Amino acid sequence: MKTAFKTIALIGKYKNPETRDQLLTLAQFLTGHHLNVFMEEDTALHSNIPDYRTLAIDKIGKNSDLAIVLGGDGTMLTAARALIGDEIPLVGINRGHFGFLTDLSAEQMLDGITNILAGKFDLEKRMLLFAKVLRDGQVVSQGYVLNDVVVSRGSMASLIELEVSIDGHFVHKQRSDGLIVATPTGTTAYSLSAGGPILHPSLDAIALVPICPHALSNRPIAINSASKIEITLLRGEDTRVHLDGQLNVAFHEGDQVLVQRADKTITLLHPLGHNHYDMLRKKLHWG
């Protein structure tokens, strides 16, 4: 097989026994075509796959040409976050529920991967956000985000009060369960269930979506992706900031979270002819 991808890393949702069988099938298929295969080390360990060379997930980008991810959107998020900055493309094989980030079905993965290796794919860059949590002017946590930054109340039943500014301009105060700042990719995640708009991935935009606001006039808005967002906690106990649902930090009264577009992107490879609207219609069961 002639392909630009000579070394391929496999990353799997290893808590599912069926995923192990598919990982082995895919690895055997790739090695049978004389391609170099690495197994992500935790995937190999927990799936009991000892016969392939392994790499830590944060080493994959520098030692592979392509990463294939078997799992759901959560597995894809983990892989994408670990590979930020390496410019390695990702392909998703859906083993989850909705799979907005994972295009290929497990049943058709070999045909799909064959086409991608042959150069029959659509390449898409997805924007990222970068968030910093400040306490007394000092950074206490920071990180990249593919889906969303979420400020939310914790175990306490009471609402929290937030102040939101964009590009240094005061926008509003809100009492709510929290606020979601979502990339276009993230508008089909938590933002969607909170009533936010679905943004096409090609849009240079960010969505701000209140979570159960006390005032019905607090509505979701979409802003230019060049905007700088500042959120201050005015009142609230046990409040937290979550980055992609995978990193979270305590958010105290007076703390701020600063969010802006990152200078890095994530590269996804889709089957040739992939259409975002077709995907939405299928996943969301539109007419």
**Alpha-carbon torsion 99, 104, 109, 113, what sign?**
negative
Which domains are delineated in the chain? 7-119 (3.40.50.10330), 128-264 (2.60.200.30)
For residue range 57-92, what is the model confidence (pLDDT) as tens digits?
999 999 999 999 999 898 999 999 999 989 899 999
Q: Is the pLDDT of residue 1 over 70?
A: no
Q: Helix, strand, or coil here: 187?
A: helix
pLDDT band at 173 (very low <50, low <70, confident <90, very high): very high
* Percent of the chain as helix, strand, coil, to the nearest 5: 25, 40, 35
At residue 98 the predicted structure's pLDDT band, cuts being 50, 70 and 90, is: confident
| Local confidence band at 131 (pLDDT 50, 70, 90 cut-offs) | very high
- Residues tagged active-site: 73
- Separation CA 53–CA 75 (nearest Å): 20
Which residues are bridge partners to 141 per DSSP? 133
Nearest-5° Cα angle at 189, 104 to 96? 35
pTM to 2 decimal places: 0.94
- pLDDT in the model for residue 16: 72
Q: What is the mean pLDDT of the chain?
A: 93
| Stretch 36-57: mean pLDDT | 94
CA distance 46 to 217: 49
Segment 217-229 shows an average pLDDT of: 96
